[in-house]
Amino acid sequence: MGTISVDGVTRRLGSTTALRDVSFTVDSGEHVGLFGPNGAGKTSLMQLLSTLASPDDGRIRIDGDEVTPDATAVRAKLGVVSHRPMVYGTLTARENLRLHARLRTVDAERVERVLEDVNLRTHASTRVEDFSHGMTKRLSIARAVLHDPTVLLLDEPYAGLDQRSAMDLQRILTRFDDRTVVIATHDLERAVDDCDRALVLVDGTLERTVSLTDLDRHSFETEYLEAVGRSDLQ
């Protein structure tokens, strides 16, 4: 469960080809990182995987079912954490999750379990507008996993977090390790810990696939820089 197949995907946005004939597969339970300089096509690919848009050419499938904006069954398998927190500031953490649980027909007990999973139980009655950035991110993850998806899509989960909050988040994410995970990030260091494999996009093309098993951070940086053909890290 949670196998992703991306086959010859092209995505055009106005006069830009954001993705060009991109193909790869992600095995069930595998954790894959999407890397690339600004404008490489990471967000465009995450949007397609999230059912927010359709490719102009090619196909994306999850467990054999095509991923399109009207694919309700596919969407039920996906948990999405975008860089914008999709939570209400005037509601408490628990109210946010209960509201979402009702929309997803998830029982209230699961809300309490997920609050525990993301270490927010003691702040469950606090309004989200009083949350730190790290707490809001943890609540976004709780919202994404509430319906127990098999695939987790994380777009820049560490952006804007200080070192400690990023480490907390990284530890929390290990609790969802049994799922298939696709994570778009510029954080090469954390990716080496989080991911089994890295896909490096450059100008909308899948430039390189790197196995991260047994690779240290320095070796991955070298591979990455070779792939993007630049001397600076993004």
Ligand X SMILES: Nc1ncnc2c1ncn2[C@@H]1O[C@H](COP(=O)(O)OP(=O)(O)OP(=O)(O)O)[C@@H](O)[C@H]1O
Q: Judged by CB, which is closer to ligand X: 41, or 134?
A: 41
10 interacts with ligand X by CB under 6 A: no
Tell me the pairing of strands 151-155 and 180-184: parallel
For the chain, report the end-to-end CA distance as a whole number of angstroms: 33
43 interacts with ligand X by CB under 6 A: yes
Among 2, 33, 41, 79, binds ligand X (CB under 6 A): 41
- To ligand X, the closest distance from the beta carbon of 156 in angstroms equals 7
Task: From 1-9, 36-44, 67-75, 115-123, give the range in contact with ligand X by CB under 6 A.
Answer: 36-44
> What values do phi and psi take at 7, rounded to 5?
-130, 105
Site string for ligand X, 11-30 (x = CB under 6 A): --xx-x-x------------
- To ligand X, the closest distance from the beta carbon of 119 in angstroms equals 28
Q: Are 199 and 35 in contact (CB under 8 A)?
A: yes
**Chain centroid, CA 80 distance in Å:** 6
Residue 4 identity (one-letter amino acid): I
3-state secondary structure of 180: strand
Q: Judged by CB, which is closer to ligand X: 32, or 135?
A: 32
124 interacts with ligand X by CB under 6 A: no
Q: Judged by CB, which is closer to ligand X: 2, or 41?
A: 41
Cα gap 41→20, rounded to integer Å: 9
Tokens 């029982």 sit on residue = 107
Which residues are at the interface with ligand X (CB under 6 A)?
Answer: 13-14, 16, 18, 36, 38-44
